[in-house]
Amino acid sequence: MVKLFLTIILLISLSACSFGTASPNKQILKKAISLSLFETQQQLSEKLNLDFQEFEINHLSIKKRKLMTVEHLPAFRIQGIYDLNLKLPKRSIEQPKKDFDIYLQLQKEGKTWRLLLPPGVNQDSSQWHSYLVE
C-alpha cells in the first residue's frame, strides 16, 4: 500500500514537471494568431481590392497544448478554435470556429515569446522561422 501511494506521488510530481516551463496566456495566443493572420490579410487586400480596417479574435478556446523542444529551447504547440471578425469600411464579416495550430517559444531570458513557423511552411523548408510576439 505504501509503494502504491509513493508511486502515485512520484507520477504526480513528474507530470507537474512537464509544464514547469511558463505557458503562454490567451493574450499572447491572440497576438500570435493576429501576427500569423496579418500577412494573409495583406495578400487578400491586394488580390481582392478590399480595405480591411482591422480584425478581432474572440472566443479563443484551447483544445490541445503540447510541450516540446525546438532548437534547444522549450516550445509549445497549441491547437484550438477562435471566432474571427473582419472589419471592412461598410460591414463586418464573421467567421466562427476557425481552427488554429501554432507554435510558441519562450526565449532564454523568459521575457519574450516568439511565433514559430515549422520547416516547410516558408520557402526554406529546413529551418524553423520565428517572429517576435511580445
| pLDDT at residue 46, as a whole number | 77
Among 131, 99, 129, 134, smallest CA distance to 115 is for 131
| pLDDT at residue 83, as a whole number | 96
| pLDDT at residue 125, as a whole number | 67
| pLDDT at residue 122, as a whole number | 59
The list of the chain residues with pLDDT below 50 reads: 2, 4-8, 10-19
| pLDDT at residue 12, as a whole number | 47
CB 80 within 8 A of CB 110: no
| pLDDT at residue 92, as a whole number | 87
| pLDDT at residue 104, as a whole number | 96
| pLDDT at residue 62, as a whole number | 95
Predicted TM-score of the model (pTM): 0.74
| pLDDT at residue 124, as a whole number | 56
| pLDDT at residue 121, as a whole number | 63
For residue 65, give every residue at least 6 positions away whose Cβ sits within 8 Å of its Cβ, in sequence order, or none. Answer: 23, 76, 77, 78, 79
